[in-house]
Amino acid sequence: MKNFLKKSGWIDILLSVAFAIIGIFMIAKTDLAIKIISYIVGGMFIVIGIIKSVDYFISKGKYDFYNYDLIYGIIAIIIGLFTIFCSGLIESMFRIIIAFWIIYSGLVRLSLSLKLHVAQIRMWNVSLILSIIMIIGGIYILFQNGALILTIGIIMLTYSIIDLIESAIFMKYVNNNLQ
């Protein structure tokens, strides 16, 4: 049991280090990270499209119902090519949608905090401050290219550091308390 837990702990540590490296890469090389992600996702769509298209020609005539594999395959290939060649546009659209959602959520929370103030609830000011931070964060993401990838990189790095600390505590427990 101790060996199994140690092996599990080391796997967690390796995964955390991998997440940390990816997070650092996303923070340091935001534009390159967007390109790589676009190539990977686009490549996956193209492979799926090719597989579906081949499936169509292999199974042609074997089924009585309409076979949409060819249409599905062609659409997947087009989406894959679009993802690869228009990565900046996709990142911008995604960033704008996320930014507007954050700004909207911040405005809703701002309204709620003002209602809490009118209702004389003591923590209204904390809600007000958090809603203002959300609005500022949304505006930052809206106007800053690469901010979304940078934020994801920071979150991944933070997660990996927390997970490394937790894994170290776990490994110490396993070493000290199990025979």
Tell me the pLDDT tens digit for each residue of 57-109: 887 756 544 567 788 889 999 999 999 998 888 878 878 888 898 899 889 88
Rounded to whole angstroms, the Cα distance separating 157 from 25 reads: 10
**For 137-168, how does the pLDDT look when each residue is reduced to its tens digit (9 = 90+)?**
889 888 887 777 888 888 888 888 888 888 88
Place of tokens 């701002």: 110
User: How do the domains of the chain map onto residue ranges?
Assistant: 2-177
* Residue 1 pLDDT class (50, 70, 90 cuts): low
| Residues 6+ positions from 70 with CB-CB distance below 8 Å | 52, 53, 56, 57
What is the rounded CA–CA span in Å between residue 57 and residue 27? 44
Question: What average pLDDT does the chain have?
Answer: 83
Q: What is the pLDDT of residue 48?
A: 93
Return the CA Rg of the chain: 24
Per DSSP, helices labelled H in the chain are 2-28, 30-59, 69-85, 87-118, 124-143, 147-177
Measured distance CA(46)–CA(90) in Å, rounded: 17
- Distance CA(52)–CA(77), nearest Å, equals 10
Q: Looking at residue 68, what DSSP letter applies?
A: -
The span from the CA of 93 to the CA of 100, in Å, is 11
Rounded to the nearest 10 degrees, the angle between the axes of helix 87-118 and helix 147-177 is: 80
Contacts with 76 (C-beta within 8 Å, 6 or more apart), sequence order: 45, 46, 48, 49, 52
Place of tokens 């992600």: 37
